[in-house]
Amino acid sequence: MNRKTKGILVIIGLIGSWFFLLQNIDLAMAKDPEYPTKPIEFYITMSPGGTTDLASRAIINAASKHLGQPFIPINKLGGQGTIAAMAVKTAKPDGYSIGVISSSTAFVPPFSEGAPYKDLKGFTWIMNFGTYIWPLIIKGDAPWKNWKEFIEWAKKNPRATKIGITGAKTADYKGLVLWQVEKQEKAEFTYLPFKGSPEVLSAILGGHINLYASTVDVSTMSYIKEGKLRLLAYSGIYKVPGYEDIPSMRELYGFKIPDLLAVYGPQGLPDYVVKKLEDAFAKAVKDPEFVKVMDRMHMPVLYMDRANLVKHVEEWFSKTAKIYEGVKAEEAKEKK
């Protein structure tokens, strides 16, 4: 064997060794039995101190007890939650960057112009741990005794009904529910977009709007108990204890806001990572401290494992697509 042939064989051997080493590194990374070995970033779409933020911190604190590593909460605001969602979507799929997502971030942005994602294929669903109570609220001294009286007044006074929501009508699921009410009742509402819940709350207390499409929180409930605000209906199916006689949109019309407060990660998370996370969060929803926080904020604990969550997300994405078909058809007519 000449020197040139020996040299070629050495090079081939070195390439083979490096290839074998890289394969083993990838295999070790893909089957790391010690995961997690460092803190996990957890992206939250809402500002610190709000219901979503407090619920998220409560669930990750409980889950950390079972994972043996802490979570680092990161409040990433803006873009109707899509900035936080994109941080999760573009993260390395190693289980160290995950987050929380709600219905308005999951189901609404894909159908909006300029949305950073047009479907939910870039995410891995892990589990669902809660939901919200979605009330429709009027001022305590408003003239309507019930939803029927309110909607009759709205039909007789087209566009006089001023509804306060956070964001535009089609940028929030509360707006999409009320749009369906308009179509079914042949009513016309006027939507006033606000930056956040505190501004809408001030507007309804000040009598500047007729209806507040909201989520229940401690502040809202204190005003309801004082009689300054009054529950008129619910956009979702969950109700405040003691106010179960108030009707829901599901009972009145057959539709509702989807329930979603889920933990998710980027596409491509290894199965062993998803399994460890799912198991830890499944135990976390039973943690007494977590349950206590949820009760205090009037937020129902709603557990869905990964399999049921995937079905839930697919079902509601499809339903939302049909709603937007109607919205866009109506907008096209208006332009003509």
pLDDT band at 42 (very low <50, low <70, confident <90, very high): very high
How far apart are the C-alpha atoms of 333 and 326, rounded to whole Å? 11
pLDDT exceeds 60 at position 279: yes
- Give the rounded distance of the alpha carbon of 242 from its chain centre: 26
Strands 123-130 and 161-166: unpaired
Measured CA to CA, the distance from residue 61 to residue 69 in angstroms comes to: 10
> Which CATH class for the 135-255 domain?
alpha beta
Cis check: omega of the bond before 33, within 30 degrees of 0: no
C-alpha 186/C-alpha 151 separation (Å) is: 10
Percent of the chain with pLDDT over 90: 77
Closest CA to 50 of 232, 256, 215: 215
Average pLDDT of span 70-77: 96
Residue 332: Cβ within 10 Å count: 9
Residues 33, 38, 39, CA angle at the centre, nearest 5°?
125
Q: Give yes or no on whether 40-131+259-327 and 135-255 have one common fold.
A: yes
Summarize the confidence of residues 163-190 as an average pLDDT. 91
Query: How is the chain split into domains, by residue range?
Result: 40-131+259-327, 135-255
H helical segments located in the chain: 3-30, 51-67, 82-89, 103-107, 147-156, 173-185, 197-205, 218-226, 249-253, 271-284, 288-296, 306-335
pLDDT at 5: 53
> Span 40-131+259-327: which CATH code?
3.40.190.150
Q: What is the reported pLDDT for 141?
A: 97
Q: pLDDT, tens digit, for every residue of 23-36?
A: 443 434 445 678 99
Residue 178 has pLDDT above 80, yes or no: yes
